[in-house]
Amino acid sequence: MTKTKISDASISIGRMTISVGDLFTRSGLEPDGVVPWGTSVPLNVPGVYVVASTPSLGDAAGHVPTYSPDPLAFRALRMLCPNPTIDGRAASDHELASRIGAFWIPETPILYAGLAGTSVQTRVRQYYSTAIGQRSPHAGGWWLKTMAELDDLYVHFAAASDPAGAESNLLRTFAASVPAPAMRTLHDKERIAPFANVEVRKGVHKRHGLKGVKMPQKPFSGATA
């Protein structure tokens, strides 16, 4: 698979979604800082984090206008998960990239929002270290790791006494900010969340049709000492 841009950069939705700063503010949160992707987060308390294509709190467009898949990421996925399917049919790497790219939201810097129940520092470190295709320690948001621009992203973070509630507010606020023209470009036009959030709220996932993209769960032996 060659590195191709799935979304058309010439298509403009006519209005941006929301900046990271506004997303935090409207969700009742105070930003605590930002680090480049791969850098340790200096916040060792419960909270939330947002992965964005800009370090700026005021940038409502970001630096990545289209989805560019990284061929090496899909090869790595296939090493652990050799038989992925889309809608029940065997899928090539290009087909996987095309389906994932069909959830790309134009003209937004916000690509993923997550929570940390005990430590934002620890949870983000787990996010960094979980290989694509693995189930743990942090398999959520793995679509982000298929991006060619992964190393150019940033992690914004904030402390929160109720991380689950704060994450829900972030997701709800983001979804409300997405213009109708942008929604109409998506594969799932109803379940709206940042690009890499496959779960839009507790127990409700985007209708992406992907299967076989996580390592099989190990059976429980039930053995006792």
Q: Is 8 exposed, middle or buried (0-12, 13-18, 19+ CB in 10 A)?
A: exposed
Q: Is residue 36 part of a domain?
A: yes
- Cα within 13 Å of Cα(182), Cβ side: 27
**225 has a pLDDT exceeding 70:** no
In this prediction, residues 128-135 reach a mean pLDDT of 96
Indicate whether 30 belongs to any domain.
yes
Domain that residue 184 falls in = 20-211
Distances (CA, A) of 24 to 131, 195, 198, 208: 28, 17, 20, 27
Let me know if residue 14 belongs to a domain. no
Predicted local distance difference test score (pLDDT) of residue 223: 47
Domain presence at residue 4:
no
In a domain, 6, yes or no: no
Tell me what the mean pLDDT of segment 119-133 comes to: 97
Whether 224 is covered by a domain: the verdict is: no
Give the separation between CA 131 and CA 133, rounded to whole angstroms: 6
Asked, for residue 155, whether it belongs to a domain, the answer is yes
Residue 4 has pLDDT above 60, yes or no: no
Is the pLDDT assigned to residue 147 strictly greater than 70?
yes
Residue 159 has pLDDT above 80, yes or no: yes
| Mean pLDDT on 181-210 | 96
Q: Return phi, psi of residue 171, to 5°.
A: -65, -40
Domain count, the chain: 1
